[in-house]
Structure 1
Amino acid sequence: MRQSIALKDGRRMGYAVFGDPAGRPCLLVHGYSSSSWVAGWALSDAVLRRHGVRVISVDRPGYGSSTANPGMGFGAWAEDASVLAGHLGLDRVATIGVSMGAGPALALAAMRPDLVTSTTILSGMAPVDGVARWTPDSRVDAFYWRLARRAPWLLRRLCSLSAATMSAGARGDADRLIGRVERALPPADLRVFRKLLEDGGSEAKAAFIADVRESCRQGGAAMADDLLDYLRPWEFDPGDVRGAVHVWHGLEDPKVPAALARRLVDRLADGTSRFVPGGHFAAFAYRDEILARIGTE
């Protein structure tokens, strides 16, 4: 179910609800070049219902139906998320931050310990300011990060072109788009991706196409903003998060080096970690275990 709310400054915040309507509420924050529809194919309604979890999956600014707000910072996003929680009547909620959704999810936990029961980070991006000589294994990702540091104007043009290509693909043949995505994935991520779509059937396939479409609905500016946001110092320290944080990360993640994730875990006051075989999608292979914990908290 797709909805949106108006924020106090006139912006809108889009979200979609998946899973058990009476289940434990969980706020999901998507990653780079994604949208609230990620929950529809990476978690699937059947899996969520099996574990009694209701996911409120939020479009981050500039993605899907959420108004862009460049340079807003993770703390400002947490304030918006608090408004959404109040609108939905949520007194306590778990959070999941996927990839570049890690910073916003942790910001909410740091600012609203009264609201957030626990935070789960899946293949999450960590603070990188002050981290010397880090680079992802993916050559494409490394190039984008290099542009973010040295030529942001060129990064924005490249992200705009990428978004236009993705948008055209989402309007065409679904199987052709999925095939193109699969050819770009490393073997470990390809196996997980295919399993997620296979388990979810036609609904997961449709949700993935919707995710691609909504991720680039407003162009590629939000993608560029993601990288630029992570190059800036966070407004809070991860150690400020007093609640439990569960980090899941692939040992061969080509996008976010496992070493960065370990640095994040070391800074948490109450952090646990599972470093598992696989790449950037590795955590989703353990979604039953992850959701079972959230469903019983």
Structure 2
Amino acid sequence: MNVTLADGRRMGYAVFGDPEGRPCLVVHGYSSSRWVAGWALSDAALRRHGVRAISVDRPGYGASAAHPRAGFAAWAEDAAELLGHLGLDRVATIGVSMGAGPALALAATRPGLVTSTTLLSGMAPVEGVGRWAPANRQDAFYWRLARRAPWLLRGLCSISSKAIAAGARGDAAQLIARVEKSLPPADLEVFRDLLDDTTRAAFVEDVRESSRQGGAALADDLLDYLRPWGFPLADVRSPVRLWHGTEDPKVPVSLARRLADQLPDVTAHFIPGAHFAPFAYRDEILEAI
């Protein structure tokens, strides 16, 4: 599904879970799409907890057009417009990984709209942090390019996106096997628990849609996080629930702790595991929503 925004751009979204349930806007992470809610949260779990997930494609991913202005606050305007189109005036939000900044931007700039924000392995602001790097060596290389050579980053992301697209066109079992091979043991265990006959199909769709428009959105994600966020975290007045693995190789837990310290109303869960660790607690997360 998609909606045409006031400026003529399209915004893609999908709805999972209980059609009559509590509305929750799901904001996907890096190299992902609206389909993340279909496998990482699962339609069955959403229905079990009475949650209606409106899962959106961020700009340049899936069915959403790129945004002419960079930044999370600009995206929040799109999200508010989508929710108005759907007739929703109060929603919870979930920000997954690099969906954290956009989700918090919506809470900060539309305080009357957002009831609560849940961050799952959420990326944190890095402005003023100094020297840092994720433990994952490939991710660290991409961040280094984003800081020093963004023109090279865009080329590399284009190549990466083409490889992702080629893999998604092939055999699903082979695609999943390649993904499993790349995961640390802690994430592999959670990933295998998440996938069943229904969620496997949603995962493959997520990979396909993540690369649908090429690699520009991948580069933009990294560059957006290196810029000021455009709003003070102190403006996020609604409750925030933060879930983060203590051994996350993609978003260092030190950044997550720093983020938690800057939010006015936060309940932080630092749990054993890596980047997928929060999804092992999805029933508890959805029950809280």
- Helix, strand or coil at the partner of 1:144: helix
- Helix, strand or coil at the partner of 1:95: strand
Task: Give the TM-score normalised by structure 2.
Answer: 0.99
- 1:225 deviation in Å? 0.3
Structure 2 distance, partners of 1:79, 1:187, is 39
1:184 correspondence with 2:182: yes
Structure 2 distance, partners of 1:32, 1:211, is 11
Runs of 4+ in 1 over 3 A off after TM superposition: none
- Helix, strand or coil at the partner of 1:131: coil
| 1:276 matched residue in structure 2 | 271
- The amino acid that maps onto 1:251 is T
- 1:252 deviation in Å? 0.2
1:202 correspondence with 2:200: no
- The amino acid that maps onto 2:208 is R
Q: 207, 212, 215: which is aligned to 1:217?
A: 212
Q: Which runs of 5+ in 1 are unaligned?
A: none
- Helix, strand or coil at the partner of 2:15: strand
Structure 2 distance, partners of 1:240, 1:42, is 29
Alignment of 1:1-297 (within 5 A): 3-69=1-67, 71-197=69-195, 201-294=196-289
Identical aligned residues as a percent: 75
- The amino acid that maps onto 1:58 is V
- The amino acid that maps onto 2:181 is R
- The amino acid that maps onto 2:186 is A
- 1:8 deviation in Å? 1.2
**Length, aligned pairs only:** 289
Structure 2 distance, partners of 1:260, 1:229, is 16
Structure 1 distance, partners of 2:233, 2:145, is 26
- Helix, strand or coil at the partner of 2:12: strand
- The amino acid that maps onto 2:81 is V
Structure 2 distance, partners of 1:179, 1:138, is 19
Structure 1 distance, partners of 2:192, 2:256, is 25
Structure 1 distance, partners of 2:54, 2:108, is 19
Q: Which runs of 5+ in 2 are unaligned?
A: none
Decide whether the 8 Å contact of 1:71 with 1:225 is kept in 2.
Answer: no
- 1:72 deviation in Å? 2.2
Listed one character per residue, the Cα deviations across residues 95-135 of structure 1 (whole Å, up to 9, x for unaligned) are: 00000000000000001111100000000000001111111
- 1:32 deviation in Å? 0.1
Structure 2 distance, partners of 1:103, 1:18, is 22
Listed one character per residue, the Cα deviations across residues 208-254 of structure 1 (whole Å, up to 9, x for unaligned) are: 11000000000010000000000001101111101000100000000
- The amino acid that maps onto 2:50 is G
Decide whether the 8 Å contact of 1:170 with 1:213 is kept in 2.
Answer: yes
Structure 1 distance, partners of 2:29, 2:106, is 16
- Helix, strand or coil at the partner of 2:67: coil
- 1:70 deviation in Å? 5.3
Structure 2 distance, partners of 1:5, 1:151, is 35
- Helix, strand or coil at the partner of 2:82: helix
Listed one character per residue, the Cα deviations across residues 16-65 of structure 1 (whole Å, up to 9, x for unaligned) are: 00000000000000000000000111011111011000000000000000
Structure 1 distance, partners of 2:68, 2:86, is 26
- Helix, strand or coil at the partner of 1:229: helix
- 1:14 deviation in Å? 0.4
Distance 1:287 1:12, change over 3 A: same
Structure 2 distance, partners of 1:170, 1:275, is 33
- The amino acid that maps onto 2:115 is T
Structure 2 distance, partners of 1:162, 1:202, is 27
- Helix, strand or coil at the partner of 1:44: helix
- The amino acid that maps onto 2:287 is A
- The amino acid that maps onto 1:241 is V
- The amino acid that maps onto 1:97 is G
